[in-house]
Amino acid sequence: MMAERPAKGDQSPAPATGQQSAEYPSQELTRVLALLDASRHSLAALAAAVDLASRRHAELVALYVEDSDLLSCAAFPFSCEIGAQSGLARPLSATSLEATIARQLKRIHQALESAVAGREVRYRLEVSRGQVASEALAKAGPGDVLTMGKAGMSERFGPRLGSTSRRLLLDAPCTVLVWDERHAFRRGPLRLVDHGQAPLEAGTVPDWLAALFDGVMPLPDHYAGELERSLAHSDAGGLLLHRRELARLLDEDPELLARLPLPIVVIN
């Protein structure tokens, strides 16, 4: 199922444009992928994805995955679900779950059409069924950018990083942008950990990423708790992490990213 439209043609941060470093994302942005589940977090990520795709004249691909694991659970006669507000248990059947998926998909259609209204962007919605992380990883390529909400469907349990989000952050073959609906995005510096291996120079961040932020700001290498404290009052810009850094931080504190008040950019 898809729809398409043609597209028309702190410290003072350092400049963030110029020649590309091998450690940073490609200068050429192929597609912007938006992983959607109808949660507030994913819809906030959709708005960012539409803006990025429109500015860079890239194709926007909205992804909705019907969760096969959840559908399999509904096949058991003892399956039940607990209301997020009421706390009451009720039977979970394949029929009721399919109806819920259909309602989610309808909301996503509406949200996508609303998000692209009046924007010059080529877009489509891809719907598949399977394990959410596996399906998203299979569709992503090195030249893409994947945008997603920080908590997704786990938001009902408070600020925490969902297991699907964690796998995508660590295993995606492309840059991942993580947005948080609870904190409105404000332009500011892109912070990154400086290991002292080489000084920061202009040109380490490609144009499409630099356009989202106001320069680059180095941070000292931190443990998870120190990083959280240093960013506790940050309300503008974002944080860039290499996957090896992210893996270390998540080993120290699995819920760290869910508590940081900034958009997160994850690169190889």
- Where b means 16+ CB within 10 Å and e means fewer, 123-146 reads bebebbeebbbebbbebbeebbbb
Tens-binned pLDDT, residue by residue, of the chain (268 aa): 444 444 433 444 544 444 444 445 555 678 999 999 867 778 888 988 999 999 889 999 999 998 888 777 877 777 777 766 677 777 777 788 888 889 989 999 999 999 999 999 999 999 999 999 999 999 999 989 999 887 643 444 345 566 778 889 999 999 999 887 777 788 999 998 765 544 444 456 778 888 889 988 888 878 999 999 999 999 899 999 999 999 999 999 988 988 888 999 998 8
Integer Cα distance of 39 and 119 in angstroms: 23
For residue 204, what are its two tokens?
Answer: 């380490």
Rounded to two decimals, the pTM is: 0.79
Query: 200 vs 21, 44, 118, 193, 217, CA distance in Å?
Result: 11, 31, 39, 10, 9
**Class for the domain spanning 31-65+122-267:** alpha beta
Please name the residues in contact with 19: beta carbons below 8 A apart, sequence gap of 6 or more: 203
